[in-house]
């Protein structure tokens, strides 16, 4: 077992499952952060409100009702009573770093370290996926000419209707 997992206060997988892509940014939602930091969501939101000048729009933003509804439909494990009157805040990586400074607890600092590691792992995975994607494109370009004959033959076969095709379904007569 790696040293990181032995000393981590929160399992990395628990954090990674809570990172969403919203408005093209990887974010963590305020209710999830409150749970990870083991504070009430209300207390987290109050700390943010008191220190609003520390959270510019590229650090944190409030979800629109449509975004909130869309994410709720993706998160099937929503607890009863978990609905808030206001959509949650979404914190970018920089916003999460600032949030640990605002909360000022030992746990917030430790959880923040794990969250930063999760963001780094996600960036590394995306970079390796991009590398794989580029390799596949190179292979496609290199071998497209050789397989063009096969593609042409498949198109011919698809384009020719067979003699015994029967119509299926209902016909509406007006």
Helix (H, G, I), strand (E, B) or coil at 64: coil
Task: Compute the distance between CA of residue 87 and CA of residue 124 in angstroms, rounded to an integer.
Answer: 30
Instruction: Report pLDDT digits (tens) over 100-142.
Output: 888 878 888 888 888 888 888 888 887 777 777 777 677 666 7
Q: What is the pLDDT of residue 18?
A: 87
Task: Compute the distance between CA of residue 17 and CA of residue 54 in angstroms, rounded to an integer.
Answer: 26
At 82, list the tokens: 């978990």
Q: What is the pLDDT of residue 53?
A: 94
Q: What is the pLDDT of residue 89?
A: 94
Task: Compute the distance between CA of residue 39 and CA of residue 137 in angstroms, rounded to an integer.
Answer: 47
Q: Which of 15-29, 51-65, 129-143 has the lowest average pLDDT?
A: 129-143
Could you tell me which residues come within 8 angstroms of residue 121 by beta carbon, excluding any fewer than 6 positions away? 12, 16
The phi and psi torsions of 8 (rounded to 5 degrees) equal -70, 140
Helix (H, G, I), strand (E, B) or coil at 19: strand
Could you tell me which residues come within 8 angstroms of residue 84 by beta carbon, excluding any fewer than 6 positions away? 31, 41
Cβ 91 vs Cβ 20: under 8 Å: no
Task: Compute the distance between CA of residue 73 and CA of residue 70 in angstroms, rounded to an integer.
Answer: 5
Report if pTM > 0.85.
Answer: no
């Amino acid at each position: 077992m790696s040293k990181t997992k032995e000393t981590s206060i929160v399992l990395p997988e628990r954090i990674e499952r809570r990172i969403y892509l919203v408005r093209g940014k990887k974010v963590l939602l305020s209710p999830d952060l409150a749970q990870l930091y083991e504070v009430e969501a209300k207390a987290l939101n109050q700390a943010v409100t008191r220190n609003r000048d520390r959270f510019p729009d590229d650090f944190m933003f409030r979800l629109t009702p449509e975004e909130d509804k869309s994410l709720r439909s993706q998160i099937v494990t929503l607890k009863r009573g978990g609905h808030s009157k206001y959509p949650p805040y979404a914190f970018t990586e920089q916003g999460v770093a600032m949030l640990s400074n605002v909360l000022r607890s030992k746990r917030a600092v430790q959880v923040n370290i794990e969250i930063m590691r999760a963001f780094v792992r996600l960036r590394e995975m995306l970079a390796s996926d991009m590398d794989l994607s580029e390799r596949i494109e190179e292979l496609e370009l290199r071998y497209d000419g050789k397989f063009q004959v096969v593609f042409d033959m498949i198109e011919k076969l698809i384009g020719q209707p067979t003699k015994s095709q029967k119509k299926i379904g209902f016909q509406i007569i007006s």
